[in-house]
């Protein structure tokens, strides 16, 4: 089955969301650790700036993607609230992303969307039509 441009865009958005969720989950504790080291030793100001800027960029992209992905996957207000809240807890975005992945896999098993060829995000555009 060939993908339409819309399918490709939605698959790409879901993949970017997945990557940003994992990056955010790792960068939040990283910036906290680097900041604590800097505050206690006085060293590492360049590292704080680099990790801080990277975290800020990833956090912003994640927050921009939340309402987009919410619309694609028809999330409830509660789910959107959770998606935003987990960005403030170290590693919590990892668990949330696994939940999103599990939701897509559950929809596949229930026959709401077709089995993807490689990953659950490959045919995520079909979620829209369900």
Q: Which structural domain range is residue 97 located in?
A: 5-129
Question: Which residue, 100, 108, 39, is CA-closest to 73?
Answer: 100
Contacts of 4 (CB under 8 A, 6+ apart): 125
Q: How far apart are the first and last CA of the chain?
A: 18
Q: Which of residues 92 and 109 earns the better pLDDT score?
A: 92
Going by pLDDT thresholds of 50, 70 and 90, the confidence category of residue 3 is low
Full-model pTM: 0.79
Question: Which residue, 112, 96, 95, is CA-closest to 104?
Answer: 112
Question: Which residue, 69, 82, 81, is CA-closest to 124?
Answer: 69
The per-residue pLDDT for range 61-101, each reduced to its tens digit, is: 999 999 999 998 889 999 999 999 999 999 999 999 999 98
Residue/partner pairs of 50-54 with CB below 8 Å, 24 or more apart: 51/27, 54/27
Total domains in the fold of the chain:
1
The per-residue pLDDT for range 27-66, each reduced to its tens digit, is: 999 999 999 999 999 999 999 999 999 999 999 999 999 9
Mean pLDDT along residues 10-39: 92
Compute the distance between CA of residue 114 and CA of residue 68 in angstroms, rounded to an integer: 22
Compute the distance between CA of residue 86 and CA of residue 115 in angstroms, rounded to an integer: 29
Question: Which residue, 93, 66, 59, is CA-closest to 80?
Answer: 66
Going by pLDDT thresholds of 50, 70 and 90, the confidence category of residue 114 is low
DSSP string computed for 40-93: HHS--HHHHHHHHHHHHHHHHHHHHHHHHHHHHHT--HHHHHHHHHGGGSTTHH
């Amino acid at each position: 089955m060939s993908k339409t441009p819309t399918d490709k865009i939605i698959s790409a958005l879901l993949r970017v969301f997945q990557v940003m969720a994992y990056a955010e989950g790792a960068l939040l504790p990283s910036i906290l650790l680097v900041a604590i080291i800097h505050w206690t030793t006085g060293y590492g100001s360049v590292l704080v700036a680099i990790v801080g800027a990277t975290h800020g960029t990833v956090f912003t992209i994640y927050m921009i993607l939340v309402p987009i992905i919410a619309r694609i996957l028809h999330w409830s207000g509660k789910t959107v609230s959770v998606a935003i809240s987990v960005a403030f807890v170290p590693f919590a975005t990892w668990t949330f992303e696994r939940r999103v992945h599990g939701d897509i896999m559950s929809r596949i098993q229930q026959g709401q969307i077709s089995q993807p060829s490689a990953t659950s995000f490959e045919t995520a555009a079909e979620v829209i039509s369900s």
